[in-house]
Amino acid sequence: MEDFKPTSYTLECVATGRTFDDEGWMLEDRSCKTPSLIRTRYAKRQLELGPAERGLYRFADWLPVRRMLCGSSAPVTYRSERLAAHLGLENLWITFSGYYPAIGATMTTCSFKETEAFSVCARIAEDEQRVLVVASAGNTARAFARVCSDNRIPLLLSVPSDNLSALWFDAPLDPCVKLIACERGGDYFDAIHLSNLALKSPKFYAEGGAKNVARRDGMATTVLSAATTIGRIPDYYFQAVGSGTGAIAAWEANQRLVEDGRFGGNTMKLMVSQNAPFVPMYDAWRADSRQMLPYDEDKARRDAEIIDAKVLSNRRPPYGLAGGLYDALKATGGDVSVATNAQARRARKLFRETEGVDIYSAAGVALASLQKAVADGRVERDATVMLNITGGGEELFQQGKELWYLKPSIVFGLDAQADEVVERCEALFA
């Protein structure tokens, strides 16, 4: 990896079209008065795949990274036979991010959140002295914890107490990774709020979530994997969403692939889904509202407790801002659907029976929505369909292993005050 040369890129504000240089960790266009994402504009118009042994960084031409970190894996795309036959689809392609060595998938944290972590962490300057802060409902935390631990990058994680079971590892982590949690009954938004309190200290800096171009471009490698394997841009893209960041990333990757010129000029229909009863983006989309509809906080927390796919419980997603999910759905002729726990569980069982591996609840939601779309005639039988399996193989990976769980150093109440949070979090890295 010594011969790696970072790709050249600029940043562009979606709302204004203004382009500017990346000063190192920019999450927005400071001159823009409208809520907006920024995007990367890469000097290399055509993607040149690197060698497979580079893992995720085989897509480095379209990643805003300074270096390559060790241990990454890329998403794997393959053509489905048994599941496709069951659904009656002629061209179903599965992009699998997780652990399934039989198809070449070797993500040891078992989710596509690794694509985010390896991209974001490789954007960090090697001489950065501050501590990275990441809020998560579980899978993202596990991915960042592993990458930061392996590469000695100081990290503060904020996770709801109800989701701590997701923080399993096959070996203890480096002490550079610290965990705080909001008390039981809190959800992902509460974890975000807690992390924002810690960020009032100059000792910490925000990963940025959807606003971080490295996160989105890392997630976009799922579509790059699909297009370079299939040889064309798919017609449909299916994924379950909590924030919608993965679907936004898919839309952006689609645009880059069109500009590349070798994969056709197709625009994928983004078919995203939520886990009922936690469906704030579905409700907003059905109302044709760019703005999220009112959602009582207590009801939101109760709904988040009900759903199997806890990772989909974001109450403040990047939905309505310029370049967000609303724009992505409008631009692609996409749609939002829902799946119940029962439907997602049946879909997970079907995937195991037909494809031979366990998948996460969120991936089950995506498959359930694909099943319904096919049954309703909203997907042509001969269409090229990409099903983004965003996590799987956990049971397979854990077989015969003694697991180690990351425990919170501090559990804060939902009404924790900034001064207390700052003081105690700073002490963790003293």
What the block records as the tokens of 268 is 């994928």
DSSP 423: H
What the block records as the tokens of 201 is 């200290």
Note whether 20 and 32 are within 8 A (CB).
no
Give the per-residue pLDDT at 2: 56
Query: What whole-number distance in Å separates Cα of residue 49 and Cα of residue 47?
Result: 6
Residue listed under structure tokens 């992902």: 188
Give the per-residue pLDDT at 381: 97
Give the per-residue pLDDT at 24: 86
Laid out side by side, the sheet with 38-42 consists of 19-20, 9-13, 38-42
Domains of the chain, by residue range, sit at 76-110+214-397, 131-202+402-430
Intrachain domains 76-110+214-397 and 131-202+402-430 with the same fold: yes
Smallest CA-to-CA distance from 414 within 153, 192, 136, 113 is with: 192
Each residue's pLDDT expressed in tens, for the chain with a length of 430 residues: 457 889 999 999 999 999 999 998 999 999 999 999 999 999 999 999 999 999 999 999 999 999 999 999 999 999 999 999 999 999 999 999 999 999 999 999 999 999 999 999 999 999 999 999 999 988 999 999 999 999 999 999 999 999 999 999 999 999 999 999 999 988 888 999 999 999 999 999 999 999 999 999 999 999 999 999 999 999 999 999 999 999 999 999 999 999 999 999 999 999 999 999 999 999 999 999 999 999 999 999 999 999 999 999 998 999 999 999 999 999 999 999 999 999 999 999 999 999 999 999 999 999 999 999 999 999 999 999 999 999 999 999 999 999 999 999 999 999 999 999 999 999 999 9
Give the per-residue pLDDT at 207: 97
Cα angle value 317/188/327 (rounded, 5°): 10
Chain-centroid distance of CA 381 in Å reads: 28
Give the per-residue pLDDT at 137: 83
Residue listed under structure tokens 């701590």: 164
Query: What whole-number distance in Å separates Cα of residue 125 and Cα of residue 184?
Result: 36
What's the CATH fold of domain 131-202+402-430?
Rossmann fold (3.40.50)
| 76-110+214-397 placed in CATH 3.40.50.1100 | yes
Residue 341, sorted as left (phi over 0), alpha (psi -120 to 50) or beta, turns out to be alpha
Laid out side by side, the sheet with 236-240 consists of 76-79, 91-96, 384-389, 236-240, 269-275, 335-339
Note whether 281 and 247 are within 8 A (CB).
no
Smallest CA-to-CA distance from 91 within 265, 228, 234 is with: 234
Residue 359: its H or E element: none
Query: What whole-number distance in Å separates Cα of residue 315 and Cα of residue 300?
Result: 7
DSSP 169-206: ESSPPPTTEEEEEEPTT--HHHHHHHHHHHTTSTTEEE
What the block records as the tokens of 115 is 């694509």
Q: Give the pairing of strands 9-13 and 38-42.
A: antiparallel
Query: Coil, strand or helix: which one is 357?
Result: coil
DSSP 137: S
Give the per-residue pLDDT at 219: 98
Give the per-residue pLDDT at 103: 98
Smallest CA-to-CA distance from 71 within 156, 152, 164, 190 is with: 152
